Chain A
C-alpha cells in the first residue's frame, strides 16, 4: 500500500522524457518555453540586456526569486555583463561570445550546458542562467542560497561535555560541519538526487580505506533503486534501504550530532545526509550502538561504562518492568516476599479493576501524556502537565482507581525510556512493552520468557547491510566487547583501530 502510494505516476514520466531536447537559438523563444513549462510562475525572474551597438547581441539572465543570491547576481553577473555589452562596440560573432562570457562572469562556479533539461533544473535549484542570443549554449552560474537557520545546539541528543553544534536542514552546512572535523583527503562525498518531483539532494559520506567498499556500493545501489515522488526526511530513505522492512527495531542509526557522525565515519561506517533534515543516517548500525552516546567518549571511562550498563538495564526495565509486575501479582504470588505481598495486597484491596486493565490504562495514559507533551502548543503546556501529573499520580491513587504500586511501575518504565540516547530504540521497547503486558496477563512469567525468546531470535536474525544486528553478542566476538557493554580506555580502544 505504502509503496503504491509513493510510486510516481506514469504520466509524469512523459514530461521528463520530452524535456531532454536541445535549446533554441533565439533567447525569446527559450524564455517563452521556460515560462510555459513552469506555468508562468510568478517567482521566475529574468532580465534582458542588449548591446547599445548591435541589437542582435542580447543576453537574458534568469533566476528563481528567493532561491538565488541577489547580491551575487548583481555584482558578479549583471555588472560585468552590462559592462561587457557596453564596451563591445565591434560586431561580435556568436562563437566569440561563447568564448568571452566565461571570462567576464565572476561567479565561483560556472558551467556550460546545451540541454533543455539542464536549463530547467539549473533554474529550479537556484542557479542563475545566462542565455545569449544566437547561441544554443547556456551559462549556469552558481548562486544557490538556501534559506536555512543557523547552527544551534542539538535538541534531541544533548550532552553535558562535548560539542554543542548540531546539523541543520541545509545539506551543504551539514557536510561542512563534517568536513571541518575530518580534514583528510580520504573523506569522500558522493551525491545523488532522489525523488521524481522533489529532486532532493542526498550526500553519502565515508572515509575511503576505513569504510567497506562493498557496503558503500550496496548503499548506492539501494539508493538508486528508490522510486518515490519526494523525500522530506531521512526516514523516507531509511524505510526503503533497510534490510528488513517488517521489524520494529531500527536498522539505521540517526543522529543530529556532527561529532557522532564523525566518530562513526572513523569507525568505517557510512553517513547518508539528506537535504531538508538535520537527522543524518548512519549505516550499518548494530544493536549496541543505540546505547552509545557520544558523551561516553568525552568522560571518564569508568563512569561511561557504568552509564552504558545503566542504559542497557533501563532498556530492559522499560520493556519488562510492568510485565513482570503483572505476572507476579496475578500468576506467581508465591514469588513475592511476604512483607511486600502484605503491602501490595493492602494497596490493591479496593481497586475495582483487574490488574491488567489497571496496568494498561496507566500505560496508555502515560503514552497519551507523552504524545500530548510533544504535540501540544507551547502555551497550554503547564495546564497539561498539571492535569497529567494528577491523572498519573496522587489523585488516581487516592480515588482508589489504581494502586500506588502500578503508578510506581509505570513511572519506572517511563523514566527508564528517557535514559536511552536514541529515540528509535526506545520506540521498539515501547512496542514490546505492550505485547509483554498482554502476554504476561494471560500466561504469566512463562509467557514473558517465551516472548523474550522470540525477541532474542528476532534480533539475532536481523542484519544491517550484511552485518549481524546483534553482534558482537551473537555471534560473540570477545575482542569487540571493549566498546559495547562497557567502554575501555581510549588508548586501548584506539590500538584496536591501528591494528586494522
Chain B
C-alpha cells in the first residue's frame, strides 16, 4: 500500500513539474493554412511573405455568437529570411501562429524567375510543417494578391487552389500537383528539371478582395493557368493548354482528358481518354542519347460533329490512327520546346541514369546540351474501346 501511495505521489509530482509545456488552447492559436512568398523590392529584406490564417469566428455558423468576418485573414510581412518572417509576423498576428496545418505554398512569378534554389530549406529543416504540401506559381502576379481573393465557392482560397488543381489533374490534365519534397528532389536532381502548376485570378479587379465578390454570380476566382517550366531552378517559360497537357501525358500524371481532332473542315471528333499509360525509354546509339516514349491511350468516342460510319471497325481503326498522329504532333512539339529551352522537365536524364549509368556519369555535366540535341522518337498507341451509348450520330435532315 505504501509503495502504491509513493508511486502515485511520484506520478503526480512528475505531472506537475512537467507543467503544460506544450499546452495550447484552440482559441489561442492562429492556424496558418497558406503561405505566399514574393520578391520584395527592397534588397535588404528580399522576401515578402503572406500568411493566410483561419479566422474561426468567421467560420462558426448557426449560433448567434459567431459569424463575424471572413473565414481567413492574410498578414504580410517583409523579412530577410523565411523563418525570420514567421517570427516577425507576430507584430501583426494576435495569436501564436502554428504552421502544422500549412497546406500549400504559392511562389510569386518574379521570385520564381530569379530562382527557387534554397527557398525550401526552412521548410525541409523545420520540425513543424510538413513537406508533403503542394507548391504553386502565381502567374503574372504576386502570391499576396492571389491569396487575397475572396473565394466564392470553397471556404478558403487555399482550399480552392488545392481542389481546383486536383480537379484539373483528374479531368483534363494541364497540371499535376507537385509536393514540396518533390520540388526539393527535382531541384537537386541532375536528370530532371522542375515544372510547377501556375495559377492566377481569372478576373483581376479590385472587387476580388472584397466581400462584394461573393455577391456576383460570375465572381473572380482562382484558375489553373499553365505549367511553369524551370531550368536549374529558374522559371524560363510557360507552357499552356495542349503543350502543358503533353507533359502530363508523357509523365503519365493525367488520369483522364478529352482529345479533340478534326475529321473534316470545321468538324471534329472528341475522344475521352480513360486509361493513359506512358513509358520513357532512353538508349545510347552511336554515342548519342536517344529518347523514346511509348504512350498507350485507351478511350471512347464521346462526341462527334461529322458523319462517319462508326459501326465500321475499319473507320474506327482509321480514327485511332488520326488520334495517334495528332497526339504525336502535340507531344513532339512540346518536347522540342523543352529541348530548345534546355529544360528536361520530363526526366529523360533520370531514365538514362538508370539504363546507362556509366554513360550518365561521364556526360551528366553537359546533359543540357545533349538533351537539346537528342533524337526523339515516339510510339503512340490509341485504342478506341467503344463509341458511347450509340454507334452512329443522328442524321440531321
Contacts and interface: CB of A to CB of B under 8 A. Distances in A.
B59 interface: yes
B219 interface: no
Question: Among the interface residues B19, B21, B60, which one has the most CB atoms of the partner chain A within 10 A?
Answer: B60
Contacts of B26: 329-330, 333, 344-345, 348, 355
A442 interface: yes
Interface string A200-226: 000000000000000000000000000
A39 interface: no
Interface string A330-347: 110110101001111111
Given A246-B1, A355-B26, A442-B18, A349 B101 contact: no
A345 B18 contact: no
Interface in B224-276: none
A357 B195 CA distance: 50
B43 interface: no
A400 B128 CA distance: 31
Contact of A341 (B18, B31, B128): B31
B22 A331 contact: yes
Given A342-B54, A346-B66, A400-B65, A246 B4 contact: yes
B10 interface: no
A444 interface: yes
A333 B100 contact: yes
A453 interface: no
B25 interface: yes
A333 B31 contact: yes
A346 B26 CA distance: 9
Nearest to B156: A342
A398 B63 contact: yes
A266 to B, nearest CB: 38
Interface residues of A, number: 31
Contacts of B57: 346, 349-350
Interface string A304-344: 00000000000000000000000001110110101001111
A10 interface: no
A123 B48 CA distance: 99
B27 A400 contact: no
A442 B16 CA distance: 8
Interface in B326-376: none
Contacts of A334: 98, 100-101, 128
Interface in B1-20: 1, 4, 15-16, 18-20
A333 B24 CA distance: 9
Nearest to A355: B25
B14 to A, nearest CB: 9
B282 interface: no
Interface string A424-464: 00000000000000110111100100000000000000000
Contact of A345 (B15, B54, B63): B54
Contacts of A344: 26
Interface string B24-36: 1111010101000
B169 interface: no
Interface string B93-123: 0000010110100000000000000000000
A213 B23 CA distance: 56
B25 A354 contact: yes
Interface residues of B, number: 33
Question: Among the interface residues B20, B29, B57, B66, which one has the most CB atoms of the partner chain A within 10 A?
Answer: B20
A332 to B, nearest CB: 8
B59 A343 contact: yes
A439 B16 CA distance: 10
B385 interface: no
B315 interface: no
Nearest to A351: B27
Contacts of B59: 342-343, 345-346
A32 B381 CA distance: 118
Contacts of A338: 33, 101, 103
B34 to A, nearest CB: 11
B24 A350 contact: no
A439 B14 CA distance: 10
Contacts of B61: 346
A442 B20 contact: yes
Nearest to B30: A345
A307 B27 CA distance: 39
B216 to A, nearest CB: 25
Contact of B25 (A342, A346, A348, A397): A348
B46 interface: no
Question: Among the interface residues A329, A333, A344, A398, which one has the most CB atoms of the partner chain B within 10 A?
Answer: A333
A347 B60 contact: yes
Given A341-B101, A346-B60, A348-B56, A443 B15 contact: yes
Top 6 A-B pairs, shortest CB-CB distance: A334-B100, A345-B56, A346-B59, A346-B60, A349-B56, A348-B26
12 contacts: A330-B25, A330-B26, A333-B31, A333-B101, A341-B31, A342-B31, A344-B26, A347-B60, A348-B56, A442-B16, A442-B19, A444-B22
Interface of A: 246, 329-331, 333-334, 336, 338, 341-351, 354-355, 397-398, 400, 438-439, 441-444, 447
Given A330-B24, A333-B29, 20 more contacts: A329-B26, A331-B22, A336-B101, A345-B26, A345-B31, A345-B54, A346-B61, A346-B66, A349-B56, A350-B57, A350-B60, A351-B27, A355-B25, A398-B64, A400-B65, A438-B15, A441-B20, A442-B16, A443-B18, A447-B15
